[in-house]
Amino acid sequence: MIATRFLIRPRPYDHPDAIRLVRALFDDQQQRYGYADPFEADPASYAPPLGLFLVGYLNTVPVTCGGYRTFDEPTHTIEIKKMYTVPRLRGLGLGERLLTTLEHHAARGGAQRSILETRVRNTAALALYTGIGYQPKARPALHARRRQAVGRVCRGARHPSRGGEGIGPSASTPARPV
């Protein structure tokens, strides 16, 4: 029996492992949907204190990634982006572990809610996100230029100093306690 070890590590957005996985996400979306968000991004937006990018390793092999960046400072809202797990390892909970790590880190930094977008055709991602408490939301006008971006979801970020309870909703961004 071969032992497996899964580790999550912070990486700059322009780290070779991050680049490889984000490019795989882009290629996967292009192939599945005929459209994908650009893989290019400002690495500074995924670096503390504005954000964070994580890569998950299975036996030293990069297999999953995701990050967050500041979405709206006044409401302490972060946006989860670039979530991806290699196809052969989907359904094993690696993406959920990475997402939870992102949320905990963001909450420690003062975030009170997290948002993300996915396409309605991405049923596996929607199942993951709704299964852990995200709620579908209407796409805001700010993102209307992304013609195919749908399935807005929001969730209260876990906050360790508050015993893991979700942060209550605001008037503009409802969030469900977790």
Say which DSSP state 104 is in.
Answer: H
Cβ(44)–Cβ(73) below 8 Å: no
Residue 45 to residue 75: CA distance in whole angstroms: 18
Other Cβ atoms within 10 Å of 107 Cβ, number: 24
Do the domain assignments include residue 31?
A: yes
Do the domain assignments include residue 122?
A: yes
Do the domain assignments include residue 33?
A: yes
Domain with 130 in it: what CATH number? 3.40.630.30
Pick the most confident of 63-67, 131-135, 159-163: 63-67
CA–CA–CA angle 139, 133, 9 (5° rounding):
95
pLDDT at residue 166 above 90?
no
Give pTM, 2 decimals. Answer: 0.79
Do the domain assignments include residue 175?
A: no
More confident residue, 173 or 115: 115
The answer for residues whose C-beta is within 8 angstroms of residue 88's C-beta and 6 or more apart is none
Do the domain assignments include residue 172?
A: no
Give pLDDT tens digits for 33-56.
888 888 899 999 999 999 999 999
**Mean confidence (pLDDT) of the chain:** 79
Which residue shows structure tokens 């290629």? 27
Residue 167 to residue 170: CA distance in whole angstroms: 9
pLDDT at residue 138 above 90?
no
pLDDT at residue 157 above 60?
no
More confident residue, 6 or 118: 6
More confident residue, 120 or 151: 120
Q: For residue 151, what are the domain limits?
A: 6-162
Tally of domains within the chain: 1
Do the domain assignments include residue 81?
A: yes
